[in-house]
A = this chain, B = another copy of it.
């Protein structure tokens, strides 16, 4: 699989690490090309023999999955700008639209989700919510407390959801299909609570949401 990741921050590093562990090719795109090159080099050093490269926007054309590893609303704006190229593609939204000024709510109105807003911005793409409850640190190792990370997957397109499920499984993580894309509302809500509780619970951004057993 060719996995394009848009963004070159911590989440791109985490998801890139796992995609490479699954044997996939990773293309990193960032508006700051040097950042994408740096991350590609770092991922390559960490996983010798793997295929991680920086890429221009045209990499989308032959990609199997495009992961928007961008904060909200930057991911939505990029989806709108790239809507033509993303038509028919599996697009993964990982974002948590938290209002970081108050840390008391989301910036998307109740009754919708960042994922649905992104789907509306690129209506011919096949948006899948995934990786929004997994922090970057645990993604690099792939597990917390000796258990593979749970990756909650929501989407309306079964083919795209299957592709993302394969990506997650190959990465050594546990995919959990929680239904249609509108279930992103609950995924974003709970991860907001998880983020807002980090300091109070002393979790240090190394925790993970799980469904046991």
Which of A32-46 touch B at CB < 8 Å? none
Taking a contact as CB atoms under 8 Å apart, the answer to whether B207 and A208 are in contact is no
Q: A110-B110, A176-B201, A177-B201 are in contact. Are A211 and B185 (CB under 8 A)?
A: no
CA distance A209 to B212 in the complex (A): 6
Residues of chain B with a CB closer than 8 A to A189's CB: 185-186, 189-190
Q: Does A197 contact B (CB under 8 A)?
A: yes
Taking a contact as CB atoms under 8 Å apart, the answer to whether B209 and A213 are in contact is no
Residues of chain B with a CB closer than 8 A to A110's CB: 109-111
CB distance from A152 to the nearest CB of B (A): 8
Taking a contact as CB atoms under 8 Å apart, the answer to whether A211 and B211 are in contact is no
CA distance A213 to B147 in the complex (A): 9
Residues of chain B with a CB closer than 8 A to A213's CB: 144-145, 206-207
Interface size on A, residues (CB 8 A): 34
Q: A110-B110, A189-B190, A193-B183 are in contact. Are A211 and B203 (CB under 8 A)?
A: yes
Contact of A179 among B179, B183, B200 (CB under 8 A): B200
CB distance from A173 to the nearest CB of B (A): 13
Q: Does A178 contact B (CB under 8 A)?
A: yes
CA distance A147 to B193 in the complex (A): 21
Taking a contact as CB atoms under 8 Å apart, the answer to whether B212 and A200 are in contact is no
Q: A111-B110, A190-B189 are in contact. Are A196 and B212 (CB under 8 A)?
A: no
| CB-defined A-B contacts under 8 Å, sample of 22 | A104-B182, A109-B110, A110-B110, A144-B213, A145-B212, A145-B213, A177-B197, A177-B200, A177-B201, A186-B192, A187-B193, A190-B190, A197-B211, A201-B211, A206-B213, A207-B212, A209-B209, A209-B210, A209-B212, A210-B210, A210-B211, A210-B212
